C-alpha cells in the first residue's frame, strides 16, 4: 500500500523542501538523501541517521491521515513489528515518528531495488529487449534460490497466523549481497486470524489474485477465501514471472482494458479459460521449463482452494528439494545460520512487548488530527523515548526536536518506553475510534477500494501492448 523501502530515482531535495517541505521535518533528525518512491499512502525517503550513520527508509504520510488509513497503518506497523524482527526475509520496521505535519514509519533500507527491476534488468542484459527473448529470464536454479526465501518468509507469516494478501514483485526487495537476499515488505493489506484463515475482504493486485478473489469481484458477490491459499497462488505467479518474464494469466484483450475493473475481469476470465500453460502468450516460454517445475506451478495454480498445494507440500516437492549450485547453496546456508540465531531470540521472548500496541494506537490516533500548539506541551513527552533514548535506557530523558512530537521504537524491549502520560486521550476512546473505522473482517480495505490505484499497463510485465515494466 505504498512505496517500499528500496532505491528509486533521485530528486533535488533542496528544491522539494523549498516548495512544500515534503520531508515533513525529517532533516531535524536525519540527513535526507533522496526520494525512494511514492504510493497511495505517502512518499518514502532515503535518510541517514545522524547518530548511527545507518541508512534508513522513512515512509511519510501527511496529517491528518484519513481514519481508514489509520486503521491500515496500525495493522501494517503491528504486523511488521511482530514479524520483521523474527525473520531475515521480512523488512524490519524500526520506529514510528510523529511530526507537526506527518506520521512516519522508519524501516531498514534495502539497497538492491525490487524484484520487478531485477527481472527487467536481467531481460535487457540477456536479450537486449523484451521482444527478443529466446530463453528463460532466470535459470531454474536462480529462481529456486529466490523462491525458497519467499516461501520461507510466507511460511513464517502463516505460522504466526498472518496472511500477507499482497505478495508481488514490487513488494519483494533485494539487498546488496551477492547473490541478493529477499526481503518482503508492505504489510498494509495483511491480516491476522485466530482460528481459521477464512477472510472476506477483496484485496490485492489483479495479476496476483486468486480465482476466489477475482471471481467474487467479477460476479459482484461476497468473497470467502483462505488467506494462506491466496498467498500460495500469488507466490506461484511470482515464480512464473521470475522464470519466463510474463504473468501466467495474461491475455491479448489486456491491452484494451481501461480500468482496474476490466483488468480484474480479464485476468479472471483467463484463469478459467484453460490450463495456465495453454495460454498462447506464454506457451512457448513454458515449454522451456522442467517437468518438475511445471508440476509445482500446476499445483500452485489449482483453481480449487482445497486442492491447491500447501506450504509444507511445496517444501517437500521434488523441484523445491533439488540441490542448488555452490554459489546459491552457500548463500542459503548462511541465511539459514542467521535465521537460526534469530529463531533463538524469538523463542526467548526477546521481541515481545504488550505495551507497545497502546502507544502505537495513541500516536496514530493523534496523526488523524491536524497539528495544534497544545501538542508541543512538554508534559506529553515526559515518559516517551525521544531521539536519544530515555532515562530508563540509561541516558537522559530526551525532548523532541522542534518539528518532532513523538518517536516510538518498534524494536525496544523496554516497557517504560511505551508508557504514556495520563493527560492523553484514554485508550478506550481510541479503541472505539479504530473499531468504527475498521472493515468488517478486522483488517483490509473495502472491495470498492482495495485494488491498487495503478493505471492498466503500469503493473504489467511483457503485456501485448508494452515491452517494459514500471511496477509489478
Q: Give 13-110+352-436's CATH code, choosing from 3.40.50.300, 2.60.40.3950, 3.30.200.20, 3.40.50.720.
A: 3.30.200.20
- In DSSP terms, which residues pair with 191 in a beta bridge? 163
For residues 26 and 43, is the Cβ–Cβ distance under 8 A? no
pLDDT tens digits along 19-51: 346 687 788 788 999 998 887 778 999 999 988
Q: 486468486: which residue's cell?
A: 210
Any catalytic annotation for residue 432? no
CA angle, corner 50, sides to 48 and 52, nearest 5? 85
Distance (Å, rounded) from C-alpha 240 to C-alpha 289?
Answer: 10
Sequence ranges of the domains in the chain: 13-110+352-436, 115-347
| pLDDT tens for the 472 residues of the chain, in order | 556 666 655 544 444 444 346 687 788 788 999 998 887 778 999 999 988 899 999 999 988 988 778 888 888 888 888 887 889 999 998 889 988 889 999 999 999 999 999 999 999 999 998 888 889 999 999 999 999 999 999 999 999 999 999 999 999 999 999 999 999 998 888 999 988 999 999 999 999 999 999 999 888 888 999 999 999 999 999 999 999 999 999 877 776 777 888 888 889 999 998 899 998 889 999 999 999 999 999 999 999 999 999 999 999 999 999 999 999 999 999 999 999 998 887 776 656 666 777 778 888 888 888 887 776 665 554 434 433 333 333 333 344 455 666 788 887 644 444 444 434 455 555 556 556 656 555 443 333 333 333 333 333 553 333 322 233 4
3 state SS of 162: strand
Question: Among 114, 97, 115, which residue's Cα sits nearest to residue 106?
Answer: 97
Question: Among 117, 102, 131, which residue's Cα sits nearest to residue 22?
Answer: 102
Query: What single string gives the DSSP state of each residue in 377-390?
Result: -GGGGTTS--TT--
Cis? peptide before 64, omega within 30° of 0: yes
Question: Among 172, 148, 132, which residue's Cα sits nearest to residue 5?
Answer: 172
Question: Residue 279: which residues within 8 A CB-CB, separation 6 or more?
Answer: 248, 249, 250, 251, 270, 273
Provide the CATH number for the domain formed by 115-347 in this structure: 1.10.510.10
Look at residue 134 in the predicted model and tell me its pLDDT.
Answer: 85
Look at residue 399 in the predicted model and tell me its pLDDT.
Answer: 47
Distance (Å, rounded) from C-alpha 153 to C-alpha 14?
Answer: 38
- In DSSP terms, which residues pair with 129 in a beta bridge? none
Look at residue 197 in the predicted model and tell me its pLDDT.
Answer: 93
pLDDT tens digits along 228-260: 999 999 999 999 999 999 999 987 777 677 788
Look at residue 161 in the predicted model and tell me its pLDDT.
Answer: 94
Query: What single string gives the DSSP state of each residue in 180-191?
Result: PPEEE---TT-E
C-alpha gyration radius of the chain:
22
Q: Kindly name the residue from 166, 170, 175, 186 that is annotated as catalytic.
A: 166
3-state helix, strand, coil split of the chain in percent (to 5) is 45, 15, 45
Question: Residue 104: which residues within 8 A CB-CB, separation 6 or more?
Answer: 24, 26, 58, 59, 60, 61, 96, 97, 98
Question: Among 165, 162, 104, which residue's Cα sits nearest to residue 451?
Answer: 165
Measure the N-to-C terminal CA separation of the chain; round to a whole number of Å: 13
Among left, alpha and beta (phi > 0; psi -120 to 50; other), residue 128 is left
Chain centroid offset of residue 12 CA: 27
Phi then psi dihedrals of residue 184, to 5 deg: -80, 140
Look at residue 80 in the predicted model and tell me its pLDDT.
Answer: 82
CA angle, corner 55, sides to 49 and 59, nearest 5? 85
Look at residue 276 in the predicted model and tell me its pLDDT.
Answer: 93
Instruction: Tell me the residue length of the chain.
Output: 472
Three cell numbers written together for 112: 538492491
Amino acid at each position: 500500500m505504498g512505496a517500499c523501502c528500496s532505491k528509486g530515482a533521485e530528486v533535488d531535495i533542496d528544491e522539494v523542501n523549498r516548495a512544500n517541505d515534503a520531508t515533513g521535518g525529517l532533516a531535524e533528525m536525519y540527513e535526507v538523501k533522496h526520494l525512494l518512491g511514492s504510493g497511495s499512502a505517502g512518499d518514502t525517503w532515503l535518510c541517514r541517521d545522524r547518530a548511527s550513520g545507518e541508512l534508513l527508509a522513512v515512509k511519510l504520510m501527511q496529517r491528518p491521515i484519513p481514519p481508514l488509513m489509520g486503521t491500515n497503518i496500525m495493522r501494517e506497523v503491528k504486523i511488521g513489528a511482530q514479524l520483521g524482527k523474527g525473520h531475515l526475509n521480512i523488512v524490519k520496521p524500526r520506529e514510528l515518528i510523529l511530526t507537526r505535519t506527518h506520521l512516519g514509519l522508519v524501516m531498514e533500507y534495502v539497497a538492491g531495488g525490487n524484484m520487478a527491476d531485477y527481472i527487467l534488468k536481467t531481460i535487457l542484459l540477456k536479450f537486449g529487449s523484451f521482444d527478443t527473448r529466446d530463453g528463460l529470464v532466470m535459470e531454474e536454479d536462480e529462481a529456486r534460490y529466490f523462491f525458497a526465501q519467499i516461501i520461507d518468509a510466507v511460511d513464517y507469516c502463516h505460522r504466526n497466523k498472518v496472511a500477507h494478501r499482497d505478495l508481488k514483485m514490487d513488494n519483494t526487495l533485494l539487498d546488496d549481497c551477492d547473490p541478493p537476499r529477499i526481503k518482503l515488505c508492505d504489510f498494509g493489506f495483511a491480516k491476522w486470524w485466530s482460528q481459521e484463515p477464512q477472510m472476506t475482504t477483496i484485496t490485492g493486485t489483479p495479476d496476483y489474485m486468486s480465482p476466489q478473489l477475482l471471481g467474487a469481484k467479477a460476479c459482484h458477490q461476497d468473497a470467502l477465501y483462505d488467506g494462506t491459499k491466496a498467498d500460495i497462488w500469488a507466490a506461484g505467479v511470482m515464480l512464473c514471472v521470475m522464470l519466463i518474464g510474463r504473468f501466467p494469466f495474461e491475455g491479448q484483450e489486456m491491452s484494451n482494458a481501461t480500468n482496474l475493473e476490466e483488468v480484474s475481469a480479464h485476468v479472471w476470465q483467463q484463469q478459467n479459460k484453460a490450463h495456465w500453460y495453454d495460454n498462447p502468450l506464454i506457451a512457448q516460454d513454458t515449454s522451456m521449463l522442467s517437468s518438475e517445475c511445471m508440476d509445482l506451478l500446476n499445483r500452485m495454480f489449482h483453481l480449487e482452494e482445497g486442492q491447491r498445494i500447501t506450504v509444507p507440500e511445496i517444501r517437500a516437492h521434488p523441484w523445491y528439494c533439488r540441490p542448488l549450485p555452490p554459489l546459491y547453496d552457500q548463500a542459503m546456508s548462511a541465511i539459514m545460520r542467521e535465521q537460526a540465531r534469530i529463531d533463538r531470540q524469538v523463542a526467548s521472548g526477546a521481541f515481545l512487548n504488550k505495551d507497545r500496541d497502546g502507544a502505537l494506537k495513541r500516536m496514530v490516533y493523534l496523526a488523524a488530527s491536524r497539528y495544534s500548539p497544545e501538542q508541543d506541551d512538554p508534559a506529553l513527552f515526559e515518559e516517551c523515548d525521544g531521539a536519544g533514548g530515555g532515562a530508563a535506557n540509561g541516558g537522559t530523558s530526551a525532548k523532541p526536536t522542534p518539528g518532532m512530537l513523538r518517536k516510538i521504537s518498534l524494536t525496544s524491549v523496554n516497557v517504560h518506553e511505551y508508557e504514556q502520560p495520563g493527560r492523553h486521550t484514554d485508550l478506550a476512546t481510541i479503541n472505539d475510534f479504530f473499531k468504527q473505522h475498521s472493515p468488517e473482517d478486522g483488517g483490509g480495505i473495502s472491495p470498492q477500494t482495495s485494488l491498487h490505484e495503478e493505471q492498466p499497463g503500469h503493473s504489467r510485465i511483457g503485456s501485448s501492448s508494452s515491452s517494459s515494466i514500471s511496477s509489478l
